[in-house]
Amino acid sequence: MRSTRLGRSGVAVTELAFGAAALGNLHTPVDDESAAATMDAAWEAGIRYFDTAPHYGLGLPESRLGRPLTGRPRGSFTVSTKVGRLLEPVDHPTGDDCAQGFAVPATHCRIWDFSADGLLRSIDASLRRLGLDALDVVYLHDPDDHLEQALSEGYPALERLRSEGVVGAIGAGMNQSAALTRFVTETDVDAVLLAGRYTLLNHEAIGHLLPAAARGTSVVIGGVFNSGLLAAPRPGATYDYAPASAPLVQRAVDLQAATERHGVALRAAALQFPFGHPAVTSVLVGARSADEVRDAAALLSQPLPTALWNDLLAAGHLPTGVPTPKRI
């Protein structure tokens, strides 16, 4: 699988990245055996970039990533995690974390903290859970309501860690493009991770973020299936973590009909679409089973005809002038 370096850093990532949120029991439990098999399948598929965060499953995916990776040569894979939410133990834990989307015991609470001290504490805890002695990439995670602290305190702390060689690359990860554009234009981040905002249904990032990033910042795209609507368009499907509106469902159904006229699964077009933009380095896909990993790898490798993208542009499914994939 092809690899590219993040921005001007020395950190390489594969074009298909493994998102570990599902291994944190996202919505429903995943047992340890299935989690291990999923990781093995990712490795066998050629994936060498693995992304996680303390927020996911209260740190569970970090432990589940770390166990199989510690048996691999350290220079053969890239791990990114995130900072901004500290996990504090609960004195008398009761219930679960399902309100936050994860079917795990509520043993910890999340504390927002983008201060330099908070970032150092978060990184130290992540390293312990991962069982690693260094992190390749660290993203400021969802600083929407803490943007000024993340820019004035969190980013400089990460910049120092990068200059000291403690981390290889730094960036920010969010579900919106406007704030990420600020990171790209006002700081020296190596990469940004954007979820759900550069897809076949949502082209928000084409306005400002991607043109700005094309000057030297790598963009990792997550959420290419828009929470499920582009994986299986139907009434009741989710979009941006909520039930999709009827007009959105119809747009997805129309996209599916258009791709299938070319013998292409909608999921394949959704996964490959972001690679049309030169700033996009990697697409991150979440998986909770070995079969889902193998499916994502197969979708990536499927040749898609240029006529498909031309038809999507002509029909108005994509904005005029949006760059489309020219994969060999």
Q: Where do the structural domains in the chain lie, given as residue ranges?
A: 3-192+212-219+277-305
List C-alpha distances in Å: 74 to 163, 225, 250: 21, 31, 46
Strand 191-195 relative to strand 167-174: parallel, antiparallel, unpaired? parallel
pTM: 0.97
**Which residues does the annotation mark as catalytic?**
56
Q: Which residue has the tokens 């594969």?
A: 14
Quickly count: other Cβ atoms within 10 Å of residue 175's Cβ.
17
Tens-place pLDDT, residues 117-143: 999 999 999 999 999 999 999 999 999
Farthest-apart Cα atoms in the chain, separation: 60
Q: What is the pLDDT of residues 268-314, one digit of tens each?
A: 999 999 999 999 999 999 999 999 999 999 999 999 999 999 999 99
Contact 297, 184 (CB under 8 A): no
Q: Which of 209, 105, 122 is nearest to 167 (CA)?
A: 122
Q: Is 154 a residue whose pLDDT tops 80?
A: yes
Pick 3-192+212-219+277-305's CATH classification: 3.40.50.300, 3.20.20.100, 3.40.220.10, 3.30.70.920: 3.20.20.100
Over pLDDT 70: what percentage of the chain?
Answer: 99
Burial class (CB in 10 A: 0-12, 13-18, 19+), 280: buried
3-class secondary structure, 233: coil
**pLDDT attached to residue 327:** 62
For residue 188, give the amino acid letter: D
| Average pLDDT over all residues of the chain | 97
Model pLDDT, residue 326:
86
Cα-based distances in Å from 107 to 52, 54, 57, 130, 132? 19, 13, 10, 18, 23
